[in-house]
């Protein structure tokens, strides 16, 4: 044994004794260095572990021990995470029997995809099921903390693995919408050539948040919030795992309070059970309500919900449904939507969908907008509610909207056609010499002026405004 090995043996023995006193490792640790062979590669391993930092080796042992104990301390939602499609609950629209995605997973031929849906709908679980069933190497990154360097390291390892072992790589990228354009671009070549199969997960609409180039190379699967019946199945499994007997009414209550989120349902159940066990009870309705506190509001002011709820709000008022209008208004306000944005959309609707069928609708909408500015929330919700109900119940006409739309189309197609000479400005010196204003009939002096077609000569005979005949917008004679 040369000098270096003798020194290492001595260091190993000292450290082994010290660690034994601290009860951190067993006696065998002290003998690891002594067993080092004379070969250079073995010696290199010894040097790496002990000359570098023995604490790193001990840390690895602790990590293994912690991993083994995770099943005891992990939240209920983590312990019950499905590992196969048979255990997966919900999303029949994309995972039903005979569906393309289900068959692809079973046959281990999953293509690149983006899973899009609200929290607790099963995006990460579905990705992990793919990991369990596929023969490919499964790599996982979170876009919250991963960098381009991390992505490139995974891609380099994937290329080496494919060349050395012929084994494919699946990259699961959670919260993919957090990646900026440059980070998403780093994935493009590998996805395009098939070096990796990308599975992205996001709560944001991928058509807004993901590069179009990456979208064209992936399939988009939208996952829906779980129904109360599906959540009840999840809660029943959770109760069985916790060893409690929960009545159907309490199971339904947890499902109702979970807001379509399986993870939230299990968290509510677990917290209510812990509270009950501290008193040697089974969970009660009061304890479940206490654990749930407030039904989660899935509303993102900068994402899908912002556009989806305002769209539903406008369409409900247009369709003369005051109840739906008030509901969507309340949902937006509870979700933190800017009331000024809501008021502006109501002003637009007053002219676009009601118009002259009830001219007061515009006044009501503008008054509500002023109330928002002068009163503010929470009181201004009363003004918005009153205005929304008025607009929903008002007679409807889009004649003003259609008129400006068609006139704009003619301007864009024909350009700015000059008005007839009789309509052009004749107030300046020399205008009459140019023929301006000649032939103009003043309607108040001659009623024949009301019968003139004032459009440019090229457009005479065109009709843009066609009264609807509803409310105060009476149809013209002959319509």
Q: Which of 64-73, 280-289, 310-319, 442-451 has the lowest mean pLDDT?
A: 64-73
Question: What pLDDT sits at residue 42?
Answer: 41
Number of Cβ atoms within 10 Å of the Cβ of 403:
16
Q: How far apart are CA 346 and CA 340, in angstroms?
A: 10
Q: Give the residue from 214, 199, 202, 213 showing the smallest Cα distance to 169.
A: 199
More confident residue, 465 or 436: 465
DSSP strand pairing (169-174 vs 113-116): unpaired
Residues in Cβ contact with 171 at an 8 Å cutoff, skipping those fewer than 6 apart: 139, 140, 141, 154, 158, 187, 196, 197, 198, 199
Q: Give the residue from 251, 229, 227 showing the smallest Cα distance to 239.
A: 251
- Whether residue 399 contacts residue 465, with contact meaning beta carbons closer than 8 Å, is answered with yes
Question: What pLDDT sits at residue 363?
Answer: 96
351-360 b/e with 16+ CB inside 10 Å = b?
bbbbbbbbee
| pLDDT tens per residue across span 110-131 | 889 999 988 888 888 888 888 8
Q: How far apart are CA 340 and CA 383, in angstroms?
A: 12
Q: How far apart are CA 95 and CA 268, in angstroms?
A: 27
More confident residue, 33 or 130: 130
Give the mean pLDDT of 324-333: 94
| pLDDT tens per residue across span 292-324 | 875 555 666 566 778 889 999 999 999 999 999
Q: How far apart are CA 192 and CA 145, in angstroms?
A: 24
Question: What pLDDT sits at residue 356?
Answer: 93
The residue to which tokens 């079973």 are assigned: 106
- Whether residue 425 contacts residue 442, with contact meaning beta carbons closer than 8 Å, is answered with no
| pLDDT tens per residue across span 137-155 | 888 888 888 888 888 899 9
Question: What pLDDT sits at residue 295?
Answer: 58
- Whether residue 331 contacts residue 305, with contact meaning beta carbons closer than 8 Å, is answered with no
Question: What pLDDT sits at residue 32?
Answer: 39
- Whether residue 367 contacts residue 338, with contact meaning beta carbons closer than 8 Å, is answered with no
Burial class (CB in 10 A: 0-12, 13-18, 19+), 369: buried
| pLDDT tens per residue across span 259-286 | 888 988 999 998 888 888 887 788 888 8
Say yes or no to pLDDT of 345 above 90: yes
Question: What pLDDT sits at residue 39?
Answer: 41
- Whether residue 388 contacts residue 428, with contact meaning beta carbons closer than 8 Å, is answered with no
The residue to which tokens 């960098």 are assigned: 147
Give the mean pLDDT of 370-380: 91
Distances (CA, A) of 151 to 123, 126, 139, 145, 203: 20, 21, 10, 11, 21
| pLDDT tens per residue across span 389-420 | 999 999 999 999 999 999 999 898 888 888 88
| pLDDT tens per residue across span 165-206 | 888 888 999 999 888 888 888 888 888 888 899 999 998 888
Give the mean pLDDT of 456-465: 87
Q: Give the residue from 184, 190, 112 showing the smallest Cα distance to 147.
A: 184
Mean of per-residue pLDDT scores for the chain = 81
DSSP strand pairing (219-222 vs 196-202): unpaired
Q: Give the residue from 141, 140, 219, 144 showing the smallest Cα distance to 179.
A: 144
Q: How far apart are CA 448 and CA 451, in angstroms?
A: 5
């Amino acid at each position: 044994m040369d000098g270096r090995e003798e020194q290492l043996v001595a260091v190993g023995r000292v450290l082994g004794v010290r660690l034994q006193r601290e009860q951190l490792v067993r006696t065998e640790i002290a003998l690891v260095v002594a067993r080092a062979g004379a070969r250079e590669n073995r010696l290199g391993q010894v040097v790496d572990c002990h000359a570098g930092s023995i604490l790193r080796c001990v840390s690895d042992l602790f990590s293994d021990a912690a991993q083994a104990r995770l099943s005891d301390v992990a939240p209920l939602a983590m312990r019950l995470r499905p590992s196969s499609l048979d255990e997966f609950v919900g999303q029949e629209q994309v995972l039903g029997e005979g569906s393309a995605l289900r068959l692809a997973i079973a046959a281990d031929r999953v293509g690149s995809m983006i899973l899009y849906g609200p929290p607790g709908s099963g995006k990460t679980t579905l990705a992990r099921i793919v990991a369990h069933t596929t023969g490919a190497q499964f790599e996982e990154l979170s876009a919250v903390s991963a960098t381009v360097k991390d992505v490139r390291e995974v891609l380099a390892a994937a290329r080496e693995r494919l060349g050395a072992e012929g084994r494919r790589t699946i990259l699961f990228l959670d919260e993919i919408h957090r990646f900026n354009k440059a980070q998403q671009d780093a994935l493009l070549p590998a996805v395009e050539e098939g070096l990796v199969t990308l599975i992205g997960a996001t709560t944001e609409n991928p058509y807004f948040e993901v590069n179009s180039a990456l979208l064209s190379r992936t399939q988009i699967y939208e996952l829906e919030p779980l129904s109360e019946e599906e959540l009840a199945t999840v809660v029943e499994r959770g109760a069985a795992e916790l060893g409690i007997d929960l009545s159907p009414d309490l199971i339904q209550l947890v499902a109702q309070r979970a807001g379509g989120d399986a993870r939230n349902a299990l968290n509510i159940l677990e917290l209510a059970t812990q509270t009950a066990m501290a008193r040697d009870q089974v969970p009660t309705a009061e304890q479940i309500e206490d654990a749930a506190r407030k039904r989660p509001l899935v509303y993102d002011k900068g994402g899908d919900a912002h556009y989806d709820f305002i769209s539903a709000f406008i369409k409900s008022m247009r369709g003369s449904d005051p109840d739906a209008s008030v509901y969507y208004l309340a949902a937006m306000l509870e979700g933190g939507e800017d009331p000024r944005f809501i008021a502006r959309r109501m002003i637009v609707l007053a002219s676009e969908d009601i118009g002259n069928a009830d001219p007061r609708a515009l006044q009501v909408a503008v008054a509500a907008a002023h109330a928002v500015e002068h009163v503010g929330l929470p009181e201004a919700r009363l003004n918005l509610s009153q205005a929304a109900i008025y607009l929903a119940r008002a007679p409807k006409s889009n004649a003003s909207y259609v008129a400006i739309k068609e006139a704009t189309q003619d301007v864009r197609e024909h350009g700015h056609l000059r008005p007839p000479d009789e309509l052009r400005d004749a107030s300046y010196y020399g205008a009459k010499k140019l023929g301006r204003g000649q032939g103009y009939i003043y309607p108040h002096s001659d009623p024949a002026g009301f019968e003139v077609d004032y459009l440019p000569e090229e457009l005479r005979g065109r009709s843009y405004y066609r009264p609807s005949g509803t409310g105060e917008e009476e149809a013209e004679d002959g319509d």
